Structure formats: C-alpha cells, structure tokens
Amino acid sequence: MTIAAHGLSAERSGRTLLHPTNVNLKPGERVGLVGASGSGKSTLGHVLVDTLRARGTSVAHVPQSPDEALDPLRSMAFHWREAEQALGLSPDDARRADLFNALQIADSDLRKRPWSWSRGMQQRFVIAMALIGTPDLLVMDEPTSALDPVVAAGTMGLLDAYLRDRQTALLLITHDLGLAARWVSRLMVMEASRIVEDAPTPRLLSTPETKAAKALCAHRNWLELPC
Amino acid sequence: MIRIFAGLLARAVVVLTGTALATFALLWHAPGDPALSIAQARYGTVVSKEVLDFIRAEAGFDDGFWTAFWAWLAPLIQGDFGQSSVNGRDVWPDLLTAMSYTFPLALVSLGLGLAVSVPLALIATRRPGSWMDRSAVALASVGVAIPAFWLGQLLILLFAVQLGWLPAMGAERTAHSILPAMTLGFGLAASLTRILRSGILEARGQSFLPAFHRRGVAQRNIARDHVAPHAAVPVVTVLGLELAFLLEGLVVVEVIFARPGLGSFLVNAIFARDFPKVQAMVILAAVIFVVVNLLIDLIYRILDPRMDGRDA
C-alpha cells in the first residue's frame, strides 16, 4: 500500500514552520530528506508521523537525539516494556535479544537509566524500540549522528535487512549526503520550509537543478565517494 | 547507597552540634543576667545577692562557657533534657505532652494542604491560561499572602462567633483541632498549589514527551509514568522548606487558639526565661528539621538518581 500524505503543514504562533507539502512513498521505498539546518526537515518528519498515526497507519519514529526519546527518570527496561505494551505486544525475550544482538547492545544493563548508557548505545536502543513492531514506514532523524562510523555502517546494514524483509518504507532525514547516497533511492531537498527538489538519488547528486541542491552537492562528488 | 546515607548522616551530626552550640552561645551572651531572670521567674521581683550566687553556682554559670556548655550537652546526648529552671520539673515529660498535641495537628494540616492543592493544581493545569487556571493562581497567591494569625482570627469570627458551628479555644475534643488545622492547611495548600502547578507545567514541556506519543503510549500512562514523577521532584524538594513554614505557623496558631503544644510550650518558656525549656525546644526543632530533610534527601535521590551520578 502506497503511503500518501497530502497538504502537510505546520505553524506556530503565526510563523510558518512547514508550507503545504505532499509526501508519497511506495512500500519498501527508501527516501532521503536533505537540506540545510533549519530548513524544516525534522518538522516535516514530525508532521508526517503524527498525521499518519492519526490516520491509523503503523509508523515508527527515531528522533534526532536520544534525549528526545527517553525519560531520564525511567529505566531502559521500563521503556522497552512500555513500547511493547503500546504496540499491544506481549513481552518477548527472544525478539528483544535478536534486536539487541544485531545492534550490539546485548551486554548492557537494562535496569540502568538512560544517562548511565553512552549516547551511542542510547541511540541504538531507540532504534531497536522503533523496530519492535512491523511499521509500514520508519522515519529516522539523523539516526547515525551519535554513532561512530563502524557502528553506523553496522546499524544501517541491519536496518537494510530488516526493511527489506518487512517491505517497510524508510524516510531518512540527514545532512550526510554520503549516507543518503549509499542507502536511499530517491532524495527530497528542503529549503525554507518546503520541498524544492525531488529526484532519484543518482540524478540529483550528478545534476542538481535548484540552488539548494547545488549548494548541498557542491563540495564533492557524493556518488564516487559514498560513506 | 550506604556511603551516601553515611554522608547525609555525618552532615546531620554537624548541623545538630552547630545548632546546640549556637543556641547555648546566644543564651549565654544574651543581654542581662540570666541568674537574675531565673531568680525573678522563681521568687518574684526582689532578689538578694545570696540567692543570685546560689543560682549561679547551681546553674554552673561560674565555671566558664565551655564547662557549662559541656555540662548541658553531655546529658542531652544521652537524651536528658534537664530540669526546668523555674519549677524544677523534668523538661522531657512536658515536651512529650506538648508533642502529643502538636504532631497530630501538623500531620492533619499537611494532609489538608495536599488534599486541597493536588486537585486544585490538576484543575489549573488542565488548560493553562484559562479562567480556571487564573482563578486557582489568584486564590493561591491570596492564600500565600494571608498570614496565619489573621486567617485564624477570620475563621474564628466566621465559624465560632457568627455561625457557632465550631469551638475556637482549647483542645479537649477533635472538633477543637478543625479550625487550627484549616488555618495551617490553607496556607500550606496555597504555596503547594503554586509549586505543583509550575512543576506539572514544566514536566509537560519535557522534550522527550512527544516521542512517547509517537510511540503510541496512551495519554493516561504518559501522565502517570512520565509527567507525574518529574512534577513530584520540585514538590519533594520544597516540602522540606514548607516544614519551616509549618513550625512557624504552629507557634502562631497554638497561641491564637489557646492550644497546648510545642508553640505554647516555647512561648511560655521564653516569657518565663526558662532556659532549659527554650534550649530543649530549639534542639527538638533542629532534630525534626534534620530528620525530615534527611528523609527528603533520600526520597529525592530515589526519584532522581542523577543527583549522585549513579544508579539507585
């Protein structure tokens, strides 16, 4: 089933955070959302997730920072149980062990609270929580910014297999064009709270049309130097 | 956890020793001859030199500050508060009787304060900025501004004099504690409402809450498991300070309503210059403070273990 959300918009106290925007994703499609800081990428991600959720579409979101995903007063075990209950699932140790092994956080102590884990481990825990269910769409906001390059590559590899198995679509919000070039087939470029260019990744990276896309691609050839 | 507890305990000992020393030093250096004050309280206005000398020797005033301090502190450590310098009776039984009147009143007032402030804060924060919220804030501000001695008299005027529903003076029946408890409880409720309200609003603004909505956690569970604990932290912190307000209010309220208790005990002791009783009362207040703040520190560390940088 194609995921389509039309007329997404956001404003706060009279200021427009997102101009009316349409987003369409085919099942299993991977799309990157790129643009300068403050261009409205995260806002579009939030509005898209909230709109689809309200409509009953199964969608998971990984925020930019684990601080925006975890309650510092609650243990990791509490977060995990709560996420399972929210999806209506009963506790499944095997499922948890699979995800934790894949994300290399199996040795960590779930009784601890988030701040006694490293940020990279917190981030992988949040990604694991997003993968508990089988969402139709996974929105990830800078998923690898807290991870070192080796772990980042491993995490993306796990995601690749997971998304392919379940036909889950991916919206990857990032300023890392190398990451985008490696993992997504289509790129959307944002500038000043609207999408200004939407094209297959190789086409956009080789011949960007808009000023914003040209500025992003100017520094080096992302297709030749992925990741 | 044991190391933290030992640290808190050591701090408590230092505070108590300091309080004992400061109380004793203040009374020792207070203007006027303490022997004369005691003699006057005991025997009347005209006192001979022999009597003064006798009292000085009896109270240990001739031996110098440190000897006298130790003569007072050593029995105190073993729980002996000494004898009244006016009537010679042991201080401790009288203090115990006073506590049996004051502590239940303090607990009921605290309970009343919480019973009023929690629902009020919840109603106020349902829609911040609405007329309900503004009314609750206004009511709380008025409540904080009204001093206990005035509120107490207003309540007496209304419920005891005008309506004749409740007794005003004394402490023979349970009904006697209703007006004093209301006087203290409303003052507490007012300040607790303000703290709870801002605590709830701040907790609701935590940056991680939208992620819990997006994860599909029910609104009710978010309020219970993530907003309430964060809102409770400032309230627990402030409860220790509220205790000071409560003790101060108790003195006023017990005098207004002519109730026996720690407040009347202290005021009567001061008027009679009964130093052992005053000192006993100050030490007791310090012990209560230290114990309650010790408990609050522990609760705080259980609620928010980031305080000591490791897991509890």
- Of B77, B100, B119, the last residue of a domain is B77
For residue B296, is it within any domain? Answer: yes
For residue A175, is it within any domain? Answer: yes
- Of A5-19, A105-119, B55-69, B101-115, least confident by mean pLDDT is B55-69
Q: 3-state class of A139 per DSSP?
A: strand
| Count of the separate structural domains present in chain A | 1
The helix (run of H) or strand (run of E) holding residue A119 is: helix A119-130
Residues B7 and B71 in one domain: yes
Residues of B with CB under 8 A from a CB of A: 206-208, 210-212, 214-218, 221, 225-226, 229-230, 303-306, 310-311
* CATH number for B213: 1.10.3720.10
Are B214 and A50 inside 8 Å of each other by CB?
yes
Are A111 and B210 inside 8 Å of each other by CB?
no
With a cut of 70, say whether residue B307 has pLDDT above it: no
In chain B, whose CA is at the least distance from the CA of A61? B214
Give the pLDDT confidence score for residue B309 in this predicted structure. 46
Spatial separation of the C-alpha atoms in residues B186 and B113, rounded to whole Å = 6
With a cut of 50, say whether residue B260 has pLDDT above it: yes
Give the pLDDT confidence score for residue B308 in this predicted structure. 56
Give the pLDDT confidence score for residue A223 in this predicted structure. 63
Residues B141 and B278 in one domain: yes
Which position has the higher pLDDT, B118 or B308?
B118
Reported confidence tier of residue B64, pLDDT bands at 50, 70, 90: confident
Rounded alpha-carbon distances, angstroms, from residue B102 to A145, B84, B216, B247: 59, 20, 49, 9
In chain A, whose CA is at the least distance from the CA of B225? A74
Residues B44 and B104 in one domain: no
Reported confidence tier of residue A61, pLDDT bands at 50, 70, 90: very high
- Of B162-176, B192-206, B225-239, least confident by mean pLDDT is B162-176
Residue A187: domain span: 16-205
Q: Which residues of A touch B230 (CB under 8 A)?
A: 73
Reported confidence tier of residue A220, pLDDT bands at 50, 70, 90: low
Give the pLDDT confidence score for residue A227 in this predicted structure. 47
Spatial separation of the C-alpha atoms in residues A191 and B96, rounded to whole Å = 75
For residue B253, is it within any domain? Answer: yes
Give the pLDDT confidence score for residue A221 in this predicted structure. 63
Reported confidence tier of residue A219, pLDDT bands at 50, 70, 90: low
For residue A197, is it within any domain? Answer: yes
Q: 3-state class of B127 per DSSP?
A: coil
pTM, 2 dp:
0.76
Q: 3-state class of A24 per DSSP?
A: strand
Determine the Cα angle at A98 with ends A93 and A104, to 5°.
120
Candidates A71, A85, A86; nearest CB to B208: A71
Q: Which residues of B touch A135 (CB under 8 A)?
A: none
Spatial separation of the C-alpha atoms in residues A168 and B217, rounded to whole Å = 21
pLDDT tens track for A112-152: 989 889 888 999 999 999 988 889 999 999 888 778 888 88
Averaged pLDDT for residues A38-66: 91
With a cut of 80, say whether residue B201 has pLDDT above it: yes
Mean pLDDT of the residues in chain B: 82
For residue A123, is it within any domain? Answer: yes
% of chain A residues with pLDDT over 70? 96
| Count of the separate structural domains present in chain B | 2
C-alpha closest to that of B282 among B15, B6, B2:
B15
Spatial separation of the C-alpha atoms in residues B127 and B64, rounded to whole Å = 65
CB neighbour class for A135 (10 Å; exposed up to 12, middle 13-18, buried from 19)? buried
Are B212 and A71 inside 8 Å of each other by CB?
yes
Are A69 and B208 inside 8 Å of each other by CB?
yes
User: Which span out of B217-221, B245-249, B299-303 was modeled with the highest average pLDDT?
Assistant: B217-221
- Of A19-33, A46-60, B84-98, least confident by mean pLDDT is B84-98
Determine the Cα angle at B33 with ends B32 and B38, to 5°.
115
Residues B204 and B295 in one domain: yes
Interface probe, candidates A53, A61, A71, chain B, greatest B C-beta count within 10 A: A71
For residue A218, is it within any domain? Answer: no
For residue A10, is it within any domain? Answer: no
Reported confidence tier of residue A5, pLDDT bands at 50, 70, 90: confident
Residue B44: domain span: 2-77
* CATH number for A183: 3.40.50.300
Are B225 and A74 inside 8 Å of each other by CB?
yes
Residues B263 and B133 in one domain: yes
CA A95 to chain centre: 21
Averaged pLDDT for residues A163-184: 88
With a cut of 90, say whether residue A78 has pLDDT above it: yes
Averaged pLDDT for residues B163-176: 74
Structural tokens at position A203 = 């086409």
Are A129 and B215 inside 8 Å of each other by CB?
yes
Residues B162 and B55 in one domain: no
Give the pLDDT confidence score for residue A33 in this predicted structure. 94
Q: Which residues of B touch A72 (CB under 8 A)?
A: 306
C-alpha closest to that of A64 among A6, A135, A107, A119:
A119
For residue A213, is it within any domain? Answer: no
Residues B149 and B66 in one domain: no
Reported confidence tier of residue A103, pLDDT bands at 50, 70, 90: confident
Candidates B210, B216, B226; nearest CB to A71: B226
In chain B, whose CA is at the least distance from the CA of A80? B215
Q: 3-state class of A226 per DSSP?
A: coil
With a cut of 90, say whether residue A212 has pLDDT above it: no
For residue A227, is it within any domain? Answer: no
Residues B154 and B7 in one domain: no
Minimal C-alpha gap between B6 and chain A (Å): 23
Structural tokens at position B260 = 């026996």
For residue B84, is it within any domain? Answer: no
**Structure ipTM:** 0.89
% of chain B residues with pLDDT over 70? 95
With a cut of 70, say whether residue A87 has pLDDT above it: yes
Are A67 and B207 inside 8 Å of each other by CB?
yes
With a cut of 70, say whether residue B299 has pLDDT above it: yes
Rounded alpha-carbon distances, angstroms, from residue B30 to A12, A29, B25, B68: 64, 85, 8, 15
CA dihedral B207, B211, B217, B221 (to 10 degrees): -10
Residues 70-89 of A with CB under 8 A from B: 70-74, 78, 82-83, 85-87
Residues B37 and B135 in one domain: no
Provide DSSP, B135-194.
Answer: HHHHHHHHHHHS-HHHHHHHHIIIIIIIS--S--S--SSGGGGHHHHHHHHHHHHHHHHH
- Of B44, B77, B110, the last residue of a domain is B77
Give the pLDDT confidence score for residue B310 in this predicted structure. 43
Altogether, the residues listed in chain B come to a count of 312
What sign results for the dihedral spanned by CA atoms A143, A147, A149, A150?
negative
- Of B31, B52, B77, the last residue of a domain is B77
Residues B171 and B26 in one domain: no
Reported confidence tier of residue B312, pLDDT bands at 50, 70, 90: very low
Mean pLDDT of the residues in chain A: 87
For residue A215, is it within any domain? Answer: no
Residues B45 and B134 in one domain: no
C-alpha closest to that of A66 among A130, A9, A109:
A130
Structural tokens at position A32 = 């990157």
For residue B86, is it within any domain? Answer: no
With a cut of 60, say whether residue A226 has pLDDT above it: no
The helix (run of H) or strand (run of E) holding residue B232 is: helix B228-256
Pairing of strands A194-200, A186-191: antiparallel
Altogether, the residues listed in chain A come to a count of 227
Residues B70 and B204 in one domain: no
pLDDT tens track for B91-149: 888 888 888 888 888 888 889 998 999 888 988 888 888 888 888 888 888 888 888 88
